[in-house]
Amino acid sequence: MPETNDEPALLPGLEPAVNRIAIMQPYFLPYLGYFQLIKAVDVFVIYDNIKYTKKGWINRNRILLNGRDTLFTIPLAGSSDFLPINQKFIAADFENRRSHTLARIQEAYRKAPQFDNIYPVIERIFHDNSRNLFDFIYNSIREVLRVLGISTTLVVSSSLEVDHQSKGVHKVLAICNSLHAHTYINPIGGVELYTGKEFRDYGINLYFHNMNVVPYSQAADEFVSHLSIVDVLMYNSPGQVNALLDQYKLLEPADRINTGNQPNDEL
pLDDT per residue, tens digit, the chain (267 aa), is 333 333 333 333 334 444 999 999 999 999 999 999 999 999 999 999 999 988 889 999 999 999 999 999 999 998 787 899 999 999 999 988 999 999 999 999 999 999 999 999 999 999 999 999 999 999 999 999 999 999 999 999 999 988 888 888 999 999 999 999 999 999 998 888 898 889 999 999 999 999 999 999 998 889 999 999 999 999 999 999 999 999 999 999 876 544 333 333 333
Residue 201 CA to residue 164 CA, distance in Å, equals 21
Write down the pTM of the prediction: 0.87
CB-based contact 49:164 (threshold 8 Å)? yes
Q: Specify the pLDDT at position 255.
A: 60
Q: Specify the pLDDT at position 166.
A: 84
**Residues 6+ away with beta carbon under 8 Å from 56:** 25
Q: Specify the pLDDT at position 256.
A: 53
C-alpha distances (whole Å) from 202 to each of 6, 34, 113, 161, 211 are 12, 26, 48, 18, 27
Q: Specify the pLDDT at position 11.
A: 35
Q: Specify the pLDDT at position 70.
A: 96
Q: Specify the pLDDT at position 89.
A: 96
Strands 153-156 and 68-73: unpaired
- The residues pairing with 211 across neighbouring beta strands, listed in sequence order, are 248
CB-based contact 122:143 (threshold 8 Å)? no
Angle, CA 251 vertex, CA 246 and CA 254 arms, to 5°: 170
Q: Specify the pLDDT at position 4.
A: 33
Q: Specify the pLDDT at position 259.
A: 39
Q: Specify the pLDDT at position 139.
A: 97
Q: How far is Cα of residue 188 from the mean position of the Cα atoms in its chain?
A: 12
Nearest of 74, 80, 92 to residue 26 by alpha carbon: 74
Residue 41 CA to residue 12 CA, distance in Å, equals 16
Q: Specify the pLDDT at position 155.
A: 95
Nearest of 219, 199, 256 to residue 21 by alpha carbon: 199
Q: What are phi and psi of 103, to 5 degrees?
A: -65, -35
CB-based contact 216:228 (threshold 8 Å)? no
pLDDT, averaged across the chain: 88
Q: Specify the pLDDT at position 149.
A: 96
Q: What are phi and psi of 44, to 5 degrees?
A: -120, 115
